[in-house]
Amino acid sequence: MSDENKYNLKSPAVRRLLREFKDLEKEKSLLYEASPTEQDIFTWHFSIRGPSETPFSKGKYHGKILFPASYPFKPPSIIFLTPNGRFETNKKICLSFTEYHPETWQPSWGVQTVLMALISFMPTPSRGSIGSLSYPPEEIQRLALLSDSYNCKECGVSLSQILNGSLSADSKDISPQLKADIDTLLSCPTPASQSSSGNKDPSKPQPSETQKVPVSDSISESIVSAQPSSVNPKVATSSDALEPKSFISQNSEPCTIPEIESIAAPSQRDANNASSVLQPVRDHQNNLPSTRGLDLCIALVSTVLAYLIINKIF
């Protein structure tokens, strides 16, 4: 790796990754190798050996670890580059220690934990999680034999040149604490995610298993379903306004709207009361005889008398 001075050593993530790289360089393993790229300390390339006594045992597998700026408080992302039959290539995979499950991640875990956990997860069932595959054992064995010829175009690693020592057991020289961490990761339930054909980025909101219906759609469906089957619509009455109405969405309980009823009901009663008060006045006006002609005569006589009186005085 190039000069450390080009990195921000005040960053907890940078200091942690530099320390882990030094530890891996001091304690070489025949099970795995990992190191950051020259361009970005947050991007690491790794190589692991397949677990013994499994269809992966003769394979070597290469990939990338992408660390977030908040590492080690947030988990990394894992991408495999070598075809293996267990995980898709060039796609972030979903495991209990990747960015898909930050709730199970522990800051005490590091690169070594991630690599050993990857080896342990290779022969486990895929469970339909994101980036998982379920190839038959024969195909996995075929890919394992071909993996030795893989050369990484990004970092220049040739799998045929590394991890060639013989192993008496995969667990050789593994500390008890690391074994306990791996057991914890393997026991973490990873819920089945969407199929790989419908995977989505974890930074985007994921839909729930039961698709929710938008509020506008649920209300429209309730209105349509409430329409009577007969041609003539039902005429609303004052008693109808007092009955609580409910809108039922696909995945929610019925919800009443008492506020609307409490407003609509008094308005209906006020209109009825006003109508009952004005009705007698209208009836009285309709029963009165026509007095328009009589009013004109009285006005004419009053005008003539006023004229005569004024002429007599002056």
Report strand pairing: 60-66 vs 43-49. antiparallel
152 is catalytic: no
Catalytic residue among 94, 152, 188, 255: 94
Are 100 and 77 spatial neighbours (Cβ–Cβ below 8 Å)? Answer: no
Residue with tokens 């996995």, as numbered in its chain: 140
Single-letter residue type at 32: Y
- SS (HEC) of 36-68: ECCCCCCEEEEEEECCCCCCCCCCEEEEEEECC
Instruction: Determine the Cα–Cα distance for residues 104 and 16; give it in Å rounded to an integer.
Output: 20
Helix, strand, coil content of the chain in percent (nearest 5): 40, 10, 45
Are 131 and 95 spatial neighbours (Cβ–Cβ below 8 Å)? Answer: no
Contacts 24+ apart (CB under 8 A), 37-41: 37/154, 37/155, 38/1, 38/2, 41/1, 41/7, 41/14, 41/17
- What six digits make up the tokens of 77? 């992302």
Instruction: Determine the Cα–Cα distance for residues 109 and 70; give it in Å rounded to an integer.
Output: 14
Selection from 29, 129, 133, 43 nearest residue 84 by Cα: 133
Phi, psi of 125 (to 5 degrees): -60, 150
Selection from 190, 165, 198 nearest residue 173 by Cα: 165
Catalytically active residues, by annotation: 94
